[in-house]
């Protein structure tokens, strides 16, 4: 085959050499507009996994790169006059020039033709080529020429950054955060050869402009950065080598992905590779890795399917199919880290103490967890656990084992919880006429014995017509009050857990069957009339609710207040107002379900008017020393619905009205929703609300291990973690998770003590046993 790679960056050079190595009969040319050794940028970093892959494909290149690597283990963070360090993080870095030199030399050795100082304007300049690789970087002319075919999707990210270098070798990956009179700047600094380090400076657009950097030339920008980061530079100067850039040396990161990766131009097959087809933010430093892995995958497909011209369409289709999935995965991981740096100033640097700020930084991608940090740097993590526990009011024994963050106590108003774990509200559909029965006593009782600091009753309805199903619990009469009281008294007398009640009204989602007989389906008979913010049915099968009139609002508000008084009589420790999941109060908050034109719809203020009215009425009668949380759907996951930005606005309104915590759930407002599920998928909403609005939060959703809960609490992404489904599988979830992470000090019910010892011993034995061959 005749192969031409347009662009001699990592993608083009590496693919060229791999294909030439596969079959020396291929004619491979790499065309590059720059001179050899003339490149932009400074150093790049890699992981061990990338190197392993490269070793398998061309050991010579891998060894040359490895011998030029600089390794380092430490991360150092400078903020607010503090300098903090942790170790065990294992990075390798190499200068971009050095890397390209290695690739160029290997290309020459294998017989790849390298053409320098040739600007390519079009793929049609190579009519004899069977295969053209568009490896011409982020601003790919070739991709732009076939925009309709490749369908590039570019998102310009809001931050500004400048990629500089310095002749000061740092012995740690260094992050320096500096506040000016206008806002925060951060520097990402890492050494890549004996005397040079990469020095990327980043800030938000408004801070960039406030300093006039949009009008600054390169020299002024460099002088500005030297002044701002003088402490960490310690007399060293900054250098640029961005001659190739037109206009400002300050860039915005462009997140790119293409709808299609290849195209037949009538003579040759053209395929995109590397930055030309996708980008990954430098916050996780994986752009070069992706370029190499593209080259490897395309080579692998030629090896597998045949490297002749007639096989090219099949090979290119397979290449795209495999790589598109991998790239999406990396881009997802990069997104968390990138977004962290986009909001770091106001969300974390201004609000968190330096110790917690550093923890948040280290876990920014949500891929490195609490226990990962323990493996990397046990001492640092244990010191941090002690720091966190002291903040939570625990007397620290400097020689004793530290208390993991999820097991620290939490106090809100007059309520003291022994740990940060909450059993999330979960409807059991097992009541008759709304009355709690023996099932509920056993269900709540056993979970209260299971170690959670707080257990929540399921959504408990304020009137018979407020129920979702005939099996839902209620609290509108004396029989229910007495039955709840029995449960609350059991919890208080027998366990150290506290118990809260979630107050709700089903709204348009009411009058349906119990979950196992057809969720959201109307009853076969005995349906009751529904109401909601607007007269919109939930599903095509659902009853159409009436839009609430003012008289309805008065009646329902009075029901919430009456139930609150009964909750006081039953002895509950805390209330939660259910304003999520499309139920009555939630239906006011979402524009998807609220189409009112009166003062109860049309703006955030109007949408929140009735839910706030109910909240205030409840707060007024609920004892001042007992807290109330509000559950919100922080994302409707549907076009035109609420997003976390709206949730933050509502959270602030509830905070101002006296809410103590926001329980950050999402979805179930519209049947058209497309949630993006995954581990801890709703935690970013809690993080945003807690640290932007300054209100305590509960994180919930796919939190299933102590490691998850510890990471969330330690990083300040939430104050409490609510665990739902794992509590259905294991009523003693908290006690078992404590044992799994080796925490012996947690108290088990005295009746169960011999079980504790055996459980811990069995876990220790299993951990010590040799793994099966
Ligand atoms: C601030 C910053 C920090 C980064 N840090 C890291 C990191 O730590 N680790 C990491 O892995 N990645 C990092 N990256 C990303 C990394 O640089 C790229 O992802 C990687 O270089 C992609 O390789 P490529 O071959 O696809 O494209 P490029 O490296 O951009 O190569 C494209 C080549 O094509 C040439 N070219 C373009 N147009 C033409 C034309 N018309 N004719 C001829 N030649 C042409 C260019 O001169 C260039 O040599 C960083 C990027 C930035 C911006
Ligand atoms: C069976 C079941 C019933 C639920 N009922 C309620 C409820 O009554 N009120 C509520 O706010 N959320 C309810 N939820 C949602 C949970 O509280 C929780 O937000 C969700 O399950 C995600 O947490 P998880 O991943 O730990 O299960 C219910 C969830 C389940 C599985």
DSSP per-residue letters across 221-255: HHHHHHHHTHHHHTT--EE---TT--S-S-EEEEE
Task: Kindly state the average pLDDT of the residues 417-427.
Answer: 98
Global confidence as pTM: 0.91
Q: Which of 706, 701, 703, 702 is nearest to 736 (CA)?
A: 706
CA atoms within 13 A on the CB side of 372: 12
- Counting ligand 1 atoms within 8 A of each CB, the residue from 9, 140, 248 with the most, and so the one to mutate, is 9
325 Cβ contact list (under 8 Å, min separation 6): none
- pLDDT for the residue 248: 67
Higher pLDDT, 757 or 244: 757
Q: Which spans in 281-427 are helix H?
A: 287-305, 312-343, 354-362, 370-376, 378-391
Name the token pair of 281. Answer: 């933010």
Name the token pair of 80. Answer: 């607010």
Beta bridge partners, 270, equal: 132, 263
- Window from 179-183, 282-286, 311-315 with minimum mean pLDDT: 282-286
- pLDDT for the residue 40: 62
**Residue 742 predicted with pLDDT over 70:** yes
Count CB-CB contacts under 10 A for residue 253: 23
- pLDDT for the residue 130: 98
> pLDDT tier at 48 (50, 70, 90 boundaries)?
confident
For ligand 1, the distance from its centroid to the CA atom of residue 9, given in whole angstroms, is 6
| Residues identified as active-site | 583
For ligand 2, the distance from its centroid to the CA atom of residue 162, given in whole angstroms, is 45
| Mean pLDDT, all residues of the chain | 95
Whole-number Å distance between alpha carbons of 260 and 277: 9
Task: Kindly state the average pLDDT of the residues 698-711.
Answer: 97
**Residue 336 predicted with pLDDT over 60:** yes
> pLDDT tier at 651 (50, 70, 90 boundaries)?
very high
Count CB-CB contacts under 10 A for residue 608: 22
Is the CB of 720 within 6 Å of ligand 2?
Answer: no
**Residue 285 predicted with pLDDT over 70:** no
Q: CA dihedral defined by 708, 712, 718, 720, rounded to 10 degrees?
A: 40
- Window from 176-180, 434-438, 721-725, 741-745 with minimum mean pLDDT: 741-745
For ligand 1, the distance from its centroid to the CA atom of residue 275, given in whole angstroms, is 6
pLDDT tens-digit map of 480-528: 999 999 999 999 999 999 999 999 999 999 999 999 999 999 999 999 9
- pLDDT for the residue 333: 76
pLDDT tens-digit map of 682-703: 999 999 999 999 999 999 999 9
Phi, then psi, of 35 in degrees rounded to 5: -75, 160
**Residue 246 predicted with pLDDT over 60:** no
For ligand 1, the distance from its centroid to the CA atom of residue 40, given in whole angstroms, is 8
Is the CB of 677 within 6 Å of ligand 2?
Answer: no
**Residue 643 predicted with pLDDT over 80:** yes
| Nearest atom, ligand 1, residue 273 CA | 26
Q: CA dihedral defined by 279, 284, 287, 293, rounded to 10 degrees?
A: -110
Task: Kindly state the average pLDDT of the residues 37-47.
Answer: 73
- pLDDT for the residue 398: 83
The CA-CA-CA angle for residues 733, 735, 741, to 5°, reads 100
Give the DSSP letter of residue 512: B
Task: Kindly state the average pLDDT of the residues 373-398.
Answer: 94
pLDDT tens-digit map of 169-227: 999 999 999 999 999 999 999 988 888 899 999 999 999 999 999 999 999 999 999 99
pLDDT tens-digit map of 29-38: 999 999 887 6
567, 554 in Cβ contact below 8 A? no
Q: Which of 15, 12, 9, 265 is nearest to 129 (CA)?
A: 265
705 Cβ contact list (under 8 Å, min separation 6): 737, 740
- Counting ligand 1 atoms within 8 A of each CB, the residue from 65, 251, 275, 331 with the most, and so the one to mutate, is 275
- Counting ligand 2 atoms within 8 A of each CB, the residue from 426, 427, 503, 663 with the most, and so the one to mutate, is 426
């Amino acid at each position: 085959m005749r192969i031409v790679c347009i662009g001699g960056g990592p993608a083009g050079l590496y693919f060229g050499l791999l294909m030439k190595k596969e079959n020396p009969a291929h004619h491979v040319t790499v065309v590059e507009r720059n001179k050899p050794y003339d490149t932009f940028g400074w150093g790049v970093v890699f992981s061990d996994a990338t190197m392993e892959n490269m070793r398998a494909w061309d050991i010579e290149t891998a060894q040359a790169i490895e011998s030029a690597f600089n390794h380092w283990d430490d991360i150092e963070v400078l903020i607010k006059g503090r300098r903090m360090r942790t170790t065990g993080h294992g990075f390798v870095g190499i200068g971009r020039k050095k890397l390209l030199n290695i690739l160029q030399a290997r290309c020459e050795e294998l017989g790849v033709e390298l053409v320098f100082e040739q600007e390519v304007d079009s793929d049609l300049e190579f009519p004899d080529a069977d295969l053209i690789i568009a490896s011409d970087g982020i601003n790919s002319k070739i991709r732009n020429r076939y925009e309709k075919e490749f369908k590039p999707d570019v998102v310009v990210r809001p931050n500004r950054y400048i990629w500089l270098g310095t002749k000061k070798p740092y012995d740690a990956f260094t992050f320096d955060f500096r506040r000016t009179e206008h806002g925060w700047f951060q520097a990402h600094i890492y050494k890549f050869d004996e005397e040079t380090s990469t020095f990327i400076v980043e800030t938000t657009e408004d801070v960039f402009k406030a300093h006039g950097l949009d009008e600054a030339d390169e020299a002024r920008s460099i002088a500005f950065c030297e002044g701002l980061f003088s402490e960490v530079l310690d007399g060293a100067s900054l250098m640029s080598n961005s001659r190739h850039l037109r206009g400002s040396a300050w860039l915005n990161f462009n997140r790119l992905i293409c709808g299609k990766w290849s195209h037949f131009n009538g003579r040759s097959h053209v395929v995109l590779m590397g930055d030309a087809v996708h980008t990954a933010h430098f916050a996780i430093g994986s752009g070069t890795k992706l370029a190499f892995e593209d080259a490897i995958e395309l080579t692998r497909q030629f090896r597998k399917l045949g490297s002749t011209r007639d096989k090219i369409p099949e090979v290119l289709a397979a290449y795209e199919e495999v790589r598109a999935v991998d790239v999406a995965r990396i881009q997802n991981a990069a997104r968390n880290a990138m977004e962290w740096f986009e909001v770091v100033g106001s969300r974390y640097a201004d609000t968190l103490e330096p110790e917690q700020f550093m923890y948040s930084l280290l876990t920014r991608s949500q891929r490195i967890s609490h226990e990962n940090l323990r493996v990397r740097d046990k001492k640092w993590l244990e010191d941090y656990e002690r720091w966190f526990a002291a903040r939570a009011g625990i007397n620290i024994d400097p020689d004793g084992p530290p208390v993991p963050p999820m097991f620290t106590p939490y106090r809100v108003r007059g309520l003291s919880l022994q740990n940060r774990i909450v059993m999330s509200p979960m409807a059991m559909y097992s009541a008759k006429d709304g009355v709690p029965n023996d099932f509920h006593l056993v269900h709540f009782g056993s979970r209260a014995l299971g170690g959670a600091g707080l257990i929540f009753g399921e959504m408990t309805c304020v009137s018979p017509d407020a129920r979702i199903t005939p099996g839902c619990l209620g609290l509108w009469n004396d029989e229910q009050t007495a039955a709840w009281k029995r449960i609350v008294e059991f919890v208080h007398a027998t366990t150290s857990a506290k118990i809260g009640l979630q107050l709700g009204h089903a709204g348009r989602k009411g009058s349906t069957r119990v979950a196992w007989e057809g969720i959201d389906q109307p009853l076969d008979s005995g349906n009751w009339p529904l109401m909601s913010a607007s007269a919109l049915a939930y599903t095509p099968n659902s009853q159409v609710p009436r839009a609430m009139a003012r008289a309805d609002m008065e009646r329902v508000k009075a029901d919430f207040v009456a139930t609150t008084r009964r909750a006081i009589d039953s002895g509950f420790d805390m209330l939660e107002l259910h304003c999520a999941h499309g139920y009555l109060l939630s239906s006011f908050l979402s524009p998807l379900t609220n189409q009112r034109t009166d003062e109860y719809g049309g703006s955030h203020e109007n949408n929140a008017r009735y839910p706030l009215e109910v909240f205030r009425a409840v707060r007024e009668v609920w004892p001042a020393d007992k807290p109330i949380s509000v559950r919100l759907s922080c994302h409707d996951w549907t076009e035109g619905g609420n997003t976390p930005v709206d949730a933050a606005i509502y959270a602030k309104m509830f905070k101002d009205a006296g809410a103590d915590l926001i329980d950050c759930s999402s979805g179930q407002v519209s049947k058209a929703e497309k949630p993006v599920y995954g581990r801890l998928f709703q935690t970013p909403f809690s993080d945003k609300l807690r640290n932007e609005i300054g209100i305590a939060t509960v994180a919930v959703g796919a939190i299933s291990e102590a490691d998850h809960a510890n990471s969330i609490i330690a990083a300040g992404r939430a104050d409490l973690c609510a665990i739902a489904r794992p509590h259905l599988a294991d009523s003693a979830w908290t006690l078992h998770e404590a044992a799994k992470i080796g925490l012996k000090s947690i108290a088990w019910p005295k009746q169960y003590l011999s079980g504790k010892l055996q459980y811990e011993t069995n876990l220790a034995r299993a951990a010590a046993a040799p793994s099966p061959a």
